[in-house]
Structure 1
């Protein structure tokens, strides 16, 4: 009787199907990411923003070192630090890339197909997280190198290029961008809309910390330091006035995990 069974039935009986599970979900998300044209525009925009912002900041440093006001003199500066300072603006192009991986599916309705192919909400979100974190970490490394290269060209004698230090700045920048992109993905899954997610992130990263610091009150400054944007800059700049730099990285990671858990909770509770 076994000789009359279809070939596919005999094969499936002896071997489990391949290509599924988490590796299959990651492969699917990877393919979907690079098939969207706007992702390439986000990458190009991030490179242009990094080059332009790093160049402008380097010009400020060079001009400040040569004018008559000693308060503007920053002396010789590590070129990687210019890239770190430039990430405050550049990060929003990278955030837009992470945002597209989830909110574009809700706006187009393709999230229904995604959840049909990957019924496990946790697996789907983990696959997206893996792809987003990997792509934005690699992007951060390239952006860190680009910002340092621009700074070297503009700063001249006022720039310090030490390979280990420059690589450290680039790796730190890449880690921060990966974590803030994962945070974006989680918020996008929870809020389900690009506008609401982007506004929330803009408030958390830029507006609220600035407003909290204006009165220069200790409790408000402490709240600002606990927000992801401020914590990330503390980490990237190696500042230890509020807490050790490594604590800043842990705070950003905490925000990313909290956002993912919120996104997963909404995915499990609501239909697509």
Structure 2
């Protein structure tokens, strides 16, 4: 608990996390309101469409999580942290836990905020959350953003430089996975197992959810996993990345 308290103080004592959290909320809620308010067809305003801003919010959350660790390397405060806590594993796990919890809550607030704004603007639309798919699409966002933050912490620990870590995270999550599909023959099969594609399977995967209904929210996934197995796969990927990052951090100079 002491380490978590220390990480909480460090995290909230700088401006960048606050700006990132505000931006993530504004993007997700704002795009949800925009989609609902500007739609000419009330039938197109549904639960998945309220999550149109998910991809933009996820990008900001990845940046937020990466900054939580790379700024320590940038300003050399990581040395002080490791001197105060010689067990580097404990220090890094405390930071990861704190950031994952914060981004998980942030994801929930953004998702339900977007849904609430859409319901406020279009009270006549079918926005009832009355199926497992609807609950995963909205409430499941916090689980995905929390795990994505763990991945970002791992990448930031490995690269240590803010620009490099942010570039890798954004390029990979927004472009690289999709470009893999261009590989002849094997590309689409490989893409089925790419982590962020699989994470989208948890949010949007349902036999009854057509691409038309899901078109406004997170990208439809090509993964063949059951939604909850997809979440487990993404969690395993995050844990493996964090394990590698902690192992590397323990062996090299701060």
Q: Which residue of 1 aligns with 2:65?
A: 98
Instruction: Give the C-alpha shift of residue 132 in structure 1.
Output: 0.9
Contact 1:125 1:264 in 2 (8 A): yes
1:203 pairs with 2:181: no
Query: With structure 1 as the length reference, what TM-score do the two structures score?
Result: 0.79
1:123 pairs with 2:90: yes
Q: 1:52/1:242 Cα in 2 relative to 1: closer, same or farther (>3 Å)?
A: same
Residue from 234, 238, 243 that aligns with 1:256: 238
Instruction: Give the C-alpha shift of residue 260 in structure 1.
Output: 0.5
Residue from 234, 257, 260 that aligns with 2:201: 234
Instruction: Give the C-alpha shift of residue 163 in structure 1.
Output: 6.2
Q: Distance in 1 between matches of 2:112 and 2:130?
A: 11
Query: With structure 2 as the length reference, what TM-score do the two structures score?
Result: 0.85
Q: Distance in 1 between matches of 2:111 and 2:130?
A: 12
Kindly indicate whether structure 1 or structure 2 has the higher relative contact order, using CA contacts under 8 Å at least 6 residues apart: 2
1:82 pairs with 2:49: yes
Structure 2: which 5+ residue stretches go unaligned? 208-221
**SS class of match (2:86):** coil
Q: Which moved more, 1:163-172 or 1:97-106?
A: 163-172
Instruction: Give the C-alpha shift of residue 58 in structure 1.
Output: 3.2
Residue from 154, 158, 173 that aligns with 1:186: 154
Q: Which residue of 2 aligns with 1:35?
A: 13
Instruction: Give the C-alpha shift of residue 134 in structure 1.
Output: 1.0
Residue from 101, 104, 107 that aligns with 1:134: 101
Instruction: Give the C-alpha shift of residue 87 in structure 1.
Output: 1.0
Q: Which residue of 1 aligns with 2:111?
A: 144
Contact 2:136 2:202 in 1 (8 A): no
Q: Which residue of 2 aligns with 1:223?
A: 190
Q: Distance in 2 between matches of 1:231 and 1:85?
A: 18
Give a deviation string over 1:146-172, Cα, whole Å, max 9, x none: 110122234443332236766543321
Give a deviation string over 1:198-220, Cα, whole Å, max 9, x none: 122123211012222357x6521
Contact 1:76 1:157 in 2 (8 A): no
Q: 1:219/1:115 Cα in 2 relative to 1: closer, same or farther (>3 Å)?
A: same
Give a deviation string over 1:27-52, Cα, whole Å, max 9, x none: 11111111111111011101111122
Q: Distance in 2 between matches of 1:169 and 1:48?
A: 19
RMSD: 2.2
**SS class of match (1:158):** coil
Matches within 5 A, 1:40-79: 40-58=18-36, 62-63=39-40, 65=41, 75=43, 78-79=46-47
Q: Distance in 1 between matches of 2:8 and 2:138?
A: 24
Contact 1:187 1:263 in 2 (8 A): yes
Structure 1: which 5+ residue stretches go unaligned? 1-22, 67-74
Structure 1 segments, 4+ long, off by >4 Å, are 163-168
Query: Alignment length, in residue pairs?
Result: 238
Q: Which moved more, 1:153-162 or 1:42-51?
A: 153-162
